Amino acid sequence: MAIWEWATGFLERLRWLDLVISLVILAFFWLFSRVFTKSVFAFWRKRVRSSGGTSAWLEAFEKPLRIFFIVLGVYLAIRTYIVPHLETTFHLDAIFRSAMIILLGWGTYRLSAQSSVLLVDLSKRLKLDDSSMLIPFMSKVLRFLVVVITAGLVGSEWGFSVNGLVAGMGLGSLAVALAAKDTLGNIFGGIVIITEKPFSKGDWILTPSVEGVVEDITFRSTQIRTFAQAVVIVPNAKLVDQPITNWSKMGKRRINFTLDVALDSDRNALNRAVVRMKELLQHNEHIDPVTIMVNFTDFKEQSLGIFLYFFTKTTVWSEFLDIREEINFKLLEVLEEEGILLAYPVQRVFLEEQTAYSREQESLRG
């Protein structure tokens, strides 16, 4: 009954003029956020682009600023209409300040994206390529810090002791470090991978435990997609302690083998074939001309060996196979034109003529 009487008295004390003023304030700030803010941002965005700059700051804070004006209008409307008739503000100011902190943190969170002006400028200064994992890694760290700081500031507005939390974290830091030593090792391993860059996203790598293409590097692990299309997640601490072969960093790709030809091949034809093979490789646009070796090197029991050693300019696996196939067909063509056959397993049997003594022994047996 007392609550009903209080509510009735409260409604009687409200003035219609305050209600009209509050609605006008609310409508003004709503229109301001929708029309004026949009036109102002469009003007500044056009001006920044015409000057050759970037509008990342505007893009990051556009939505938070629009919501800020709406929240400000609601705050002023409530203070005009309701607060003068109440004995307490129900922590209205704390709510407003918390909303401001959250909006500021939201804009900063959007600004710390991978494509933000800060990280793009940093990438240009450090001369990083698009495959570098440093910028995504820093973006995740910055966003984590923004969330933690925003939550701490909002908590302090409502009386939570941040100093007590920091002190508690200091006392328990040793226990946390011992319990999470593997996780910390993986994080430091990720930092080593990103800074030293033994490989980047999209590189084909080989380690004693896995071979495949790097898809992502996170705080804890590296994701590698094998050629069987399976995803292998390797902890960073384990990965940095292993020898890593980065096939994508090759400047050229080697081809070396011994071509076995028939043992009874003509000497002059074999000499012409070796010379023609070397000229064939020297005039091929896909072969690196620096190192080309074609020599008759081996005498074997069933064949003669022609040693070939050269490099392709491409390191892409599919292109490398196409070039190698083309070279093989041309080598076969040279051998066919010179009348030289490839070696194949043979077995020779020699029969000796019977001597007079062996014929006499056979006649005695008969």
The residue out of 121, 150, 167 marking a domain boundary is: 167
pLDDT of residue 125: 59
Q: pLDDT tens across 172-201, in order?
A: 555 555 555 666 676 677 777 767 778 888
Strand residue runs (E) in 207-264: 211-217, 221-225, 231-235, 245-246, 253-262
DSSP annotation string for 1-68: -HHHHHHHHHHHH--HHHHHHHHHHHHHHHHIIIIIHHHHHHHHHHHHHHTT---HHHHHHHHHHHHH
Distance CA 75, CA 23 (A): 12
Distance CA 353, CA 203 (A): 68
pLDDT of residue 326: 94
Q: pLDDT tens across 212-232, in order?
A: 998 887 777 888 999 888 999
Q: Are residues 29 and 89 in the same domain?
A: yes
211, 245 contact by CB (below 8 A): no
Q: In this prediction, what percent of the chain has a pLDDT beyond 70?
A: 63
Q: Are residues 17 and 110 in the same domain?
A: yes
Q: pLDDT tens across 1-54, in order?
A: 556 665 555 555 555 556 666 677 777 777 776 776 667 766 666 666 665 555
Residue type, 186: N
Within the chain, how many helices (H) and strands (E) appear?
Answer: 14, 8
| Counted domains in the chain | 3
Residue 342 is assigned to a structural domain of this protein: no
The residue out of 167, 188, 211 marking a domain boundary is: 167
pLDDT-based confidence at 83, cuts 50/70/90? Answer: low
Tell me the average pLDDT across 246-258.
Answer: 86
Rg (CA), the chain: 40
Q: Are residues 34 and 50 in the same domain?
A: yes
218 closest CA partner among 297, 159, 133, 151: 133
Distance CA 240, CA 194 (A): 11
pLDDT-based confidence at 87, cuts 50/70/90? Answer: very low
Residue 167 has pLDDT above 60, yes or no: no
What CATH code is carried by the domain that includes residue 315? Answer: 3.30.70.100
SS3 277: helix
DSSP state for residue 83 in the 8-state scheme: G
Q: Are residues 29 and 140 in the same domain?
A: yes
pLDDT-based confidence at 365, cuts 50/70/90? Answer: low
What is the average pLDDT value for the chain, to the nearest integer?
A: 75
Q: Are residues 118 and 20 in the same domain?
A: yes
Domain extent for 234 = 198-248
The residue out of 150, 167, 184 marking a domain boundary is: 167
